[in-house]
Chains A and B, each alone.
Chain A
Amino acid sequence: MAKNKVSFKLKSNLSQLDALCQNLEKFGQSLGLSKKCIFEANLALDELFTNIISYGFDDKNEHTIKITISLRNDELVFNIEDDGIPFNPTKVETPDLECTIEECRIGGLGIHLAKNLMDAVCYQRCKDKNILTLKKKIKEARPQKKKVKG
């Protein structure tokens, strides 16, 4: 049976987006998740990861961002942990989506996408670390367990 938990570390560099994608695809495919589900999870994690790298560190040192993904019942749970400055993306204002092209601003859009693609996004500051927990319900059928309870 496929493992229902994976954990990996990314360096604070945008080039790590490829590693994020590869890890996610490998895990998602092992669970039989749809392409759409993997895409949406990838996008949400990408936006939050990119945000951490762009605004999360006030020094030039290399940092590590730890990502854990697990499947609990029919819910994917993502954990993103970094040692950057305190930042709560859930408090970022949603951009005005009713605007015209002239008024349209891109700020906050990544976080808006992440929030929309997930069922829940929670932030905690704990021991000098930012911890984001994202949850996404999956709808598609996964490989069935052979043993049936009851």
Chain B
Amino acid sequence: MEIIEESQSGINIYRLNGRLDSNTSQGFEKKIFQAIDDGSKSMIIDFKNLDYISSAGLRVILKATKALKREDGAIMLCDMQDYVKEVFEIAGFDSFLPIVGTMDDALNAF
């Protein structure tokens, strides 16, 4: 999986490309938690080019959301393909994770 990182008005944006599974989730977790340790409080995860997510990927997103909440920060998830979104729904995560349609929606939420 490729992770493209950028920053816009103090918001850390992660664009995921490929597959977020038990193999790749650790690298992503490290990146996110490094940013949280460095003081980042606002994050957007762009799922547009993510083809696949498993429970290992959900676990990282959940952990990051909890960590940011403790720091009074926030995370937004955007642009999911339908079948990726379905995984969040089956897991019941869509009830407490902020999932929005587009990157603009995500940026406007901060």
Q: In the complex, which residue of chain B has the Cβ closest to the Cβ of A54? A: B22
Chain B hits for A106, CB < 8 A:
55, 58-59, 62
The 8 Å CB contact of A100, one of B51, B82, B96, is: B96
CB within 8 Å for A109 and B91 given contacts A46-B54, A101-B65: yes
Quick check: A98 and B92 within 8 Å, CB to CB? Answer: yes
CB–CB A39/B91 < 8 A: no
A39 touching B55, Cβ below 8 Å = no
Q: Which residue of B lies closest to A106 (CB)?
A: B59
- Does A144 make an interface contact (CB < 8 A)? no
Instruction: Find out whether the CB atom of B21 lies under 8 angstroms from the CB atom of A17.
Output: yes
Residues on the A chain within 8 Å of B19, using CB: 21
User: Contact string, A89-101, partner B, CB cutoff 8 A, digits 1/0?
Assistant: 0000001011111
Residue B30 interfacial (CB < 8 Å): no
Instruction: Find out whether the CB atom of B91 lies under 8 angstroms from the CB atom of A17.
Output: no
Return the contact of B83 from the options A40, A101, A102, A112 (Cβ within 8 A).
A40
Is A18 engaged at the interface, CB distance under 8 Å to the other chain?
yes
Contact of A43 (CB < 8 Å), options: B52, B62, B69:
B52
Q: What residues on B are CB-neighbors of A110 within 8 Å?
A: 54-56
Considering the chains assembled together, what is the distance between the CA atoms of A25 and B22 in angstroms? 19
- CB <8 Å contact, A97 and B52: no
Contact B58 A36 (CB under 8 A): no
Contact of A42 among B52, B62, B66, B91 (CB under 8 A): B52
Contact of B54 among A35, A50, A98, A100 (CB under 8 A): A50
Known contacts A18-B23, A110-B56, A113-B54, then 8 further A-B pairs from the complex at CB < 8 Å, ordered by chain A residue = A50-B56, A98-B95, A101-B62, A104-B93, A106-B59, A109-B55, A113-B55, A113-B87
Closest 3 CB pairs of A and B: A97-B92, A110-B55, A101-B96
